[in-house]
A and B are shown apart, each in its own frame.
Chain A
């Protein structure tokens, strides 16, 4: 069965303190791994799509990497405005369905 596990569940960082969020997945035939940012009361905002092991993508202070079993979202020198819940989702080979992880709630303290 396709599964997505994110860790840690919550993370508190001082402003400027870099860290990584983990997304472990089990899926039959990975078609894509997606990272989203979700602010309270809002829908998820697209960040990255990764398709194959070894792929990396960057956007401002965020960098996403992918292996055959997991993905990392690295946050470099975070700012308070980076505080949000970060969701990971995978799409397998069967149909369009996404499998979401439960997210990592990130708080960046000034």
Chain B
């Protein structure tokens, strides 16, 4: 089946630094990928839709200058959390549409200290 690889699986960074998270579709091409954020014991909240070769579409309330999304190829989307603060600590998950539905990555646990 379709596989979406997300890297890193966890990262700890200092407040004020930037962190990049990668999302790759391993065995299929994904013109559209999605980035979600999940707080403990809560459901997934869509942050943005990443479109290959064009600008990402951000959901209301998501700061586009803070969460930079780049979808430079049909198999790779990246999310960069810029000038990270402790309140950005969360679980970030990407997904991509495949032939049968939507496949999710394994998630990235970001901790900002």
A residues contacting B by CB (< 8 A) are 32, 34, 36, 41-46, 49, 87, 95-98, 100-103
The reply to whether A45 and B104 contact each other, CB–CB distance below 8 Å, is yes
For B95, the chain A residues whose CB sits under 8 A away are: 43-44
For B97, the chain A residues whose CB sits under 8 A away are: 96
B residues contacting A by CB (< 8 A) are 1, 4, 6, 32, 34, 42-46, 49, 91, 93, 95, 97, 100-107, 109
Interface of B is mostly: strand
The reply to whether B107 and A43 contact each other, CB–CB distance below 8 Å, is yes
The contact of A43 among B32, B49, B100, B105, by CB within 8 Å, is B105
The reply to whether B44 and A46 contact each other, CB–CB distance below 8 Å, is no
Which of A41, A42, A44, A49 counts the most chain B CB atoms within 10 A?
A: A44
The 10 closest A-B pairs by CB, nearest first: A43-B104, A102-B43, A100-B43, A43-B107, A44-B104, A43-B106, A100-B44, A49-B101, A43-B93, A43-B105
The reply to whether A46 and B103 contact each other, CB–CB distance below 8 Å, is yes
The contact of B101 among A32, A43, A100, A102, by CB within 8 Å, is A32
A44-B93, A97-B49 known; A34-B101 Cβ under 8 A: yes
Which of A43, A97, A101 counts the most chain B CB atoms within 10 A?
A: A43
Bound complex: CA of A28 vs CA of B2, how far in Å?
28
For B49, the chain A residues whose CB sits under 8 A away are: 95-97
The reply to whether A41 and B109 contact each other, CB–CB distance below 8 Å, is yes
For residue B71, give the distance in angstroms from its CB to the closest CB of chain A: 14
Bound complex: CA of A101 vs CA of B34, how far in Å?
17
6 A-B interface contacts by CB (under 8 A): A44-B104, A46-B100, A49-B101, A97-B49, A98-B34, A98-B46
Bound complex: CA of A46 vs CA of B106, how far in Å?
12
A96-B34, A96-B97, A100-B43 known; A41-B103 Cβ under 8 A: no
Bound complex: CA of A97 vs CA of B45, how far in Å?
10
The reply to whether A36 and B104 contact each other, CB–CB distance below 8 Å, is yes
